[in-house]
Amino acid sequence: MSTGGSVSFGSTLSCTMRCPLCATEDTRVIDSRPAEGGGAIRRRRECLVCGDRFTTFERPVIVATVVKRSGRSEAFDREKIRRGLEFALADRPVPEGTVDDIVARIEASARAGSALVTSEELGKAVLAELRNVDEVAYLRFASVYKEFQGASDFEREAAALEQGNDGASVS
Ligand SMILES: [Zn+2]
């Protein structure tokens, strides 16, 4: 009863994607590579009928839930974390891909376990990451996250940061 264009269910690898241009299912993957710091896979696909090439992304569907201080919850927003990191790390001498790597680690930890985190835990996770990467970025983020009221808060945080350095000071 099989007809020419039927999908084979015999192999787990025979997952075709319809061509966005001509709608045929005769497409193939010509390239696969990690994207977004390893949290996704980017595939280039080619239509065997019309020759169109298109890109697909594969991402886990587990979405972490973030519980805010107000008690309301929202879906984990990777772009929000990215914006916070980009603000903190603007013009700082850090390796390319630092933001991507941190976003990926934070998202992975947010998804772990029950995939439920508080906004406070997220903020602390970002601070812990920045602390390892760049002191200025850490203080920038802390000044926003901890809603510093004035210079004294900033100085206290800077002092706490220095104490945590175990004497390994950088001039
Ligand atoms: Zn096509």
User: What is the Å distance from ligand 1's center to 7 Cα?
Assistant: 17
Could you tell me if residue 81 is inside a domain? Answer: yes
**18: containing domain:** 11-59
Give yes or no: residues 23 and 84 share one domain: no
Query: How many CB atoms are located within 10 Å of the residue 19 CB?
Result: 21
Count of structural domains within the chain: 2
User: What is the Å distance from ligand 1's center to 5 Cα?
Assistant: 14
Per-residue pLDDT 10s for the chain (171 aa) are: 444 444 444 444 556 789 999 999 999 999 999 988 887 899 999 999 999 999 998 887 778 899 988 899 999 999 999 999 999 999 999 998 999 999 999 998 888 878 889 988 899 899 999 999 999 999 999 888 776 555 566 667 777 777 765 444 444
Give yes or no: residues 47 and 86 share one domain: no
Give yes or no: residues 84 and 31 share one domain: no
User: What is the Å distance from ligand 1's center to 28 Cα?
Assistant: 11
Could you tell me if residue 88 is inside a domain? Answer: yes
Could you tell me if residue 47 is inside a domain? Answer: yes
pTM of the model: 0.56
